[in-house]
Amino acid sequence: MNILLLGSGGREHAFARAMAASKHCTQLFIAPGNAGTLAHGKNVALAINDFEAIGQFCLAENIALVVVGPEEPLVKGIRNYFEQSNELKHIALVGPDQTGAQMEGSKDWSKQFMQKYKIPTAAYATFTAHNLAEGLAYIDQMQGTVVLKADGLAAGKGVLIIDDKETAKTELSAMISELKFGSASSKVVIEEFLEGIELSVFVLSDGNGYKLLPSAKDYKRIGEGDTGLNTGGMGAVSPVPFADESFLAKVESQIVVPTIEGLKAEGIVYKGFIFIGLMNIKGNPMVIEYNCRMGDPETEVVLPRIQSDLVELMLATAQGNLHEMEVLIDPRAATTIMLVSEGYPGDYEKGKEIRGIDSITDSIVFHAGTKLEAQGKIVSNGGRVLAITSLANNLAEALAVSNKNAAKIEFSNKYFRRDIGYEFNA
Ligand code: AMP
Ligand code: GLY
């Protein structure tokens, strides 16, 4: 069958590599893709939010399966667009509808959902311009660190963690009154700060049942020792050693099952990935956030550990047949290290020639922000440039290989964290 994958990051390169390897894949198209996805299919210049053009492309190329990588088309309703069209509704699509995508698209919606279905999460309240004064008073009565979250999508920048109340109040006003994060912050969730270790659990839901995928831990800060600004993610490891059987059993019974049942009770037929960001608080899980898609760079360690045919899994997700599937997991550990452009997540330069990718034989080099230029030159085209994934018998061995190869690849403003997985690298 012909398949269309939407997106252009390391996550999508990992999806492209896995789907192209399936016996069911005749031709894979990636819109818009990057220099790495070219090895697995054809890149097409479609904008990910131009549903009309995407629909026309699907008809012209006889696409049977669409896999949506990023959240934006989902929050904007790409599934609804396909389902409402007589010509497109037969096409299998992986990703929730607009209501299901509110899990990520509205922090207030997802907090209400968690409260309603008794899913453990931080205490919170939501404020807008109508009750800003109450929001300021709410901060005054909080104990300790304050977490402010823009309700809507803010490209990963909408969360502020603030130690002193006066600053928190100033920031709340800036978010609501001055729209610091655009319309995304016209509504703000204020929540208590959770102290613990973060990890992520990934679930595939077909609207009826679910499958658990490998867990992963992402390293979000730009600097070594988890310091400095938040980024999209500087590296990841899978599995997460402290997410042992008993912890994951709690995650499943206290969080995954009530989430799936809650979605059904809301009348949402959720067909896609649920990325659950968790805090492990002394052995007990609490939800920090939901995302309606896979993580990046978590995908670059999760998918290489899935041995089952990914196209079969995607089709079963879209068609409600996940109960017939088995998700086979490679017992080996996977690590990935992101090579980024110096300056990221602030300003950085693009267009730097990348050398040495072909010399890497013992890692998978996923392209995150790259572009192929006329004379076959591959150049950087984003803040996050390449993700170097390695598989080995344990995390320490995999990290050694990823680190060695991260050092080998060259481009002029390259930066990477040398301490990814430090807690597990003793
Ligand atoms: P989010 O956009 O919700 O993933 O938040 C970004 C990051 O902020 C998370 O990955 C956490 O590191 C941190 N964070 C969010 N909410 C909380 C919370 N209630 N307590 C502690 N850290 C949080
Ligand atoms: N790595 C975090 C995310 O994809 O949201």
Greatest Cα pair distance in the chain:
62
Mean pLDDT, the chain, rounded, equals 95
402: pLDDT strictly greater than 70: yes
Cα torsion 238, 239, 243, 248: sign? positive
Domain residues of the chain, as ranges?
A: 2-95, 123-192
CATH domain 2-95 topology? Rossmann fold (3.40.50)
- pLDDT for the residue numbered 230: 86
pLDDT digits (tens, 9 = 90+) for 33-51: 999 999 999 999 999 999 9
- pLDDT for the residue numbered 286: 97
Half-sphere exposure of 285 (CA within 13 A, CB side): 25
Nearest listed ligand to the Cα of residue 230: 1
CA dist., res. 63 & res. 55, Å (int): 9
Residue nearest to atom 4 of ligand 2 (CA): 295
- Which atom of ligand 1 has the smallest separation from the CA of 198? 12
Helix (H, G, I), strand (E, B) or coil at 413: coil
CA dist., res. 133 & res. 137, Å (int): 6
pLDDT digits (tens, 9 = 90+) for 267-307: 999 999 999 999 999 999 999 999 999 999 999 999 999 99
- Find the residues whose C-beta lies inside 6 A of ligand 2: 218, 232-233, 291, 295-296, 298
- Which atom of ligand 2 has the smallest separation from the CA of 295? 4
- pLDDT for the residue numbered 58: 98
Residue nearest to atom 3 of ligand 1 (CA): 289
Nearest listed ligand to the Cα of residue 147: 1
pLDDT digits (tens, 9 = 90+) for 210-269: 999 999 999 999 999 999 988 999 999 999 999 999 999 999 999 999 999 999 999 999
- pLDDT for the residue numbered 361: 96
- pLDDT for the residue numbered 375: 84
**Candidate of 157, 288, 289 to mutate for ligand 1, largest count of ligand atoms within 8 Å of Cβ:** 288
- pLDDT for the residue numbered 92: 98
Residue nearest to atom 11 of ligand 1 (CA): 288
User: What's the 159 CA to ligand 1 centre distance in angstroms?
Assistant: 7
Share of the chain above pLDDT 70, in %: 100
Average pLDDT over residues 355-371: 96
Looking at the DSSP assignment, which residues form a beta bridge with residue 197?
280
2: pLDDT strictly greater than 70: yes
Residue nearest to atom 3 of ligand 2 (CA): 295
Lookup: tokens for 361: 């034989």
- Find the residues whose C-beta lies inside 6 A of ligand 1: 122, 147, 159, 161, 191, 193-194, 198, 220, 277, 288-289
**Candidate of 217, 291, 293, 302 to mutate for ligand 2, largest count of ligand atoms within 8 Å of Cβ:** 291
The dihedral over CA atoms of 408, 410, 412, 413, expressed in degrees to the nearest 10, equals -60
Nearest listed ligand to the Cα of residue 294: 2
pLDDT digits (tens, 9 = 90+) for 415-424: 999 999 999 8
Nearest listed ligand to the Cα of residue 121: 1
353: pLDDT strictly greater than 90: yes
User: What's the 287 CA to ligand 1 centre distance in angstroms?
Assistant: 10
Residue nearest to atom 5 of ligand 2 (CA): 295
Nearest listed ligand to the Cα of residue 336: 2
pLDDT digits (tens, 9 = 90+) for 141-159: 999 899 999 999 987 778 8
CA dist., res. 251 & res. 307, Å (int): 23
Query: Which one is predicted more confidently, 378 or 426?
Result: 378
- Which atom of ligand 2 has the smallest separation from the CA of 233? 1
Helix (H, G, I), strand (E, B) or coil at 372: strand
**Candidate of 157, 159, 200 to mutate for ligand 1, largest count of ligand atoms within 8 Å of Cβ:** 159
426: pLDDT strictly greater than 90: no
pLDDT digits (tens, 9 = 90+) for 106-135: 999 999 999 999 999 999 999 998 999 999
Q: Structurally, what CATH architecture does the domain formed by 123-192 represent?
A: 2-Layer Sandwich (3.30)
- pLDDT for the residue numbered 182: 85
pLDDT digits (tens, 9 = 90+) for 299-343: 999 999 999 999 999 999 999 999 999 999 999 999 999 999 999
**Candidate of 238, 296, 384 to mutate for ligand 2, largest count of ligand atoms within 8 Å of Cβ:** 296
Residue pair 381/9 in contact (Cβ under 8 Å)? The answer is no
